Structures are given as C-alpha cells and as structure tokens.
Amino acid sequence: KPQLVASNDRFCRFLEEYCPVVTETYYPTIWCWEGRVQTLLRPFITSRPQVQYRNELIKTADGGQISLDWFDNNDSLYYPDASTRPTVLLLPGLTGTSKESYILHMIHQSETLGYRCVVFNNRGIAGEDLLTPRTYCAANTEDLEAVIHHVHSLHPSAPFIAAGVSMGGMLLLNYLGKTGRDTPLMAAAIFSAGWNVFESVESLEKPLNWLLFNYYLTTCLQSSISRHRRMLEKLFDMDLVMKARTVREFDKQFTSVMFGYRTIDDYYEDASPCRKLKSVGIPVLCLNSVDDVFSPGHAIPVDTVKQNANVALVLTSCGGHIGFLEGVWPRKCTYMDRVFKQFVQAMFEHGNKIFSM
C-alpha cells in the first residue's frame, strides 16, 4: 500500500473518501516493476490518446512568447457552459510538451469528466520561435504566473486546478510556495517532482543512471535549444553549452547563467521545491515513488510535508519516474492517471468539504 503522509486529519479523511486510490494497494506490472525499467519503458508501452488541440501564442512582458495548447472540450455533457467549465492547467516535464503520452492521458481522463485542459509549453520547445534569448528553468515562475493570470482572465468563473509532472511539478510547487493563498488556483496535483535538485543530479550522475538517463536528457536539452542557436548566441558560448555531457554541466554553462545566478549551487538551491513547501497555501497532493532515480526517496521532504496542513504526499515503493505502470500489459491507464483523475474530480466536485470534514 502507498504511504499517505499529511498533518491534517481532515485532508486525509477527504482523500480517503473522495480519492480512495491513494489508500489502495498499488500492484506494479510484475515484469517491469523496477524503477529504472518502469521509467524507461513507460513512453514506449503506454498508448497515445488522440487529442485535437487549439494553439494560442501569448506575449510576455519581456517581449517573448509562450505556446499554449487548449483542449476546450466543447462537447462536454456535464459542463455545457464554457464560462463555468472546470479548467485544468497541465505542466509537462523538463523537455516535454503537450505531445507527451502522460499529458495526453491526463487530457483523456479530464475529457471523460467534462473538463477543459490547457497545456503550458515552456518557451521554445513546442515549435514556436524564441523572440528573446531566454528559455526557462525550474526556479523562475514568471512565465507560469503570466499563463495562470491569462487563463483565469479568460474564464474567471471557472474552477481552476493545475497539475505538474517532473520539472513541471517543481515549477508549480515553486510558484505555490511563492504565492501562498494569493492564486486563482483552488488546488494542485504534483507527480514525480524532484524535491532537492542537489540530490537529484547526484543520483543521476551515478554511472548506470548517467548511462541510462543523464546523457540522454542532456542531449534532449541541447536539442531543444539548438534550433534557436542564432538567437541564443547573442548571450552564450553555444559551442561550450553543446559540449555538456551531464545535466549539471548544461545548467552550469547555460541555465544558471541565463537566469542570473552567481553559481550553479545558487540556482539549484532556488529551484528545489523542498525549500518553499511550508508556504504553500492551497490543497496540494503529491505523488512520488521512492525508487525514482530522478527524485531519490531519501530526499523526499516527508517531515516538511507534515508541517503544512495544505499538503499531502503519497509515496509508493515502486513506480520509478512518471512510471507507475500496473496490470499485465499497461497500455492505457497507470496508477498516476488514476490518482490524477480522482483527485481532480474530488476537488472540483467536493473541494468545499475539504476543511469541514
């Protein structure tokens, strides 16, 4: 059974009643239960539901642009009035976009419940041009704040929830830690977040993990900026950036410099959500597996979670990073998908009861 960590008994009772999946035994797929195997196989095993997006480019205060992919769900039977149709903002991982299978599955789950979704694609990775020499990072929440304000301004009467995966979850947590209760979001769900960046990069630099994940992730980061080379060369030695062989080297030469950090340690400290968790002011449910090499179990801030009544943490012993595969042939629904669906539905339909139970 997963471990449910929370200091608030009412939040626990709310989850047990309206999001019972967090108390059910999680049976990982028996032939790929190990965390690294789950992490590696999930993108190839899980199906890719068909989703028709409507793209919107919004301008930012610094002259940049952000690509949003909308799933309006105009055929919603439960919420035919678009002005009050619940809205879910989805934040993909480090180099992820609206095309990731886990995002498509979240939209599929939301569609069945009648909700509208919008995917926040970080700058420069969803096919749009960079208009300024700036991309994104886990610590800087300015673009996310602009997106949340924009979405809320379009549908001010619609209940509004966000869900972040991996780096998207880190960014969302850092935003919530910064804003406290001063946000239009009524709740948030976080999946496979890296809580302490120092511990995450150290885990990823172990020989096998470097071979399986770190080098590939570094090349993905380099690929995401290579087509914007002409714009980025105005500020960076791109030849040096493209020589990076680890995420840490990439962040040292590129990310930390871009966002004005004196050292990479300063950036990693600011990017670690565990530092801001105490300030979160809305209900948040977090799901992590203790065998996640991107977010090692010993670095998950269990004690800090117990100090904030707004936060609950679900810990599984297996599941890897954005894995959580279950069943003999896990093509369709994962444990993570079920947690997402039940929690979002619980908050939209029963969220007013959370502190009255």
Residue 166 annotated to the active site: yes
Query: Which among 228, 289, 321, 337 is annotated as catalytic?
Result: 321
Strands (E), the chain: 3-6, 54-59, 65-71, 87-91, 116-121, 160-165, 187-191, 284-289, 311-316
Are 170 and 194 a contacting pair, CB within 8 Å?
yes
Tell whether the torsion through CA atoms of 254, 138, 194 and 323 is positive or negative: negative
Query: Which among 67, 292, 295, 337 is annotated as catalytic?
Result: 292
How many C-beta atoms surround the C-beta of residue 41 within 10 A?
17
The secondary structure of 301-347 as a DSSP string is -HHHHTT-TTEEEEEESS-TTTT--BSSS-SS--HHHHHHHHHHHHH
Residue 292 annotated to the active site: yes
Hey, what amino acid is at 106? M
Query: Which among 76, 166, 192, 295 is annotated as catalytic?
Result: 166
- Between CA 101 and CA 220 the distance in angstroms is 17
SS (H, E, C) 13-71: HHHHHHCHHHHCCCCECHHHCCHHHHHHHHHHHCCCCCCCCEEEEEECCCCCEEEEEEE
Are 168 and 93 a contacting pair, CB within 8 Å?
yes
Given the DSSP bridges, would you call strands 160-165 and 187-191 parallel, antiparallel or unpaired? parallel
Tell whether the torsion through CA atoms of 18, 336, 155 and 276 is positive or negative: positive
What residues are labeled active site? 166, 292, 321
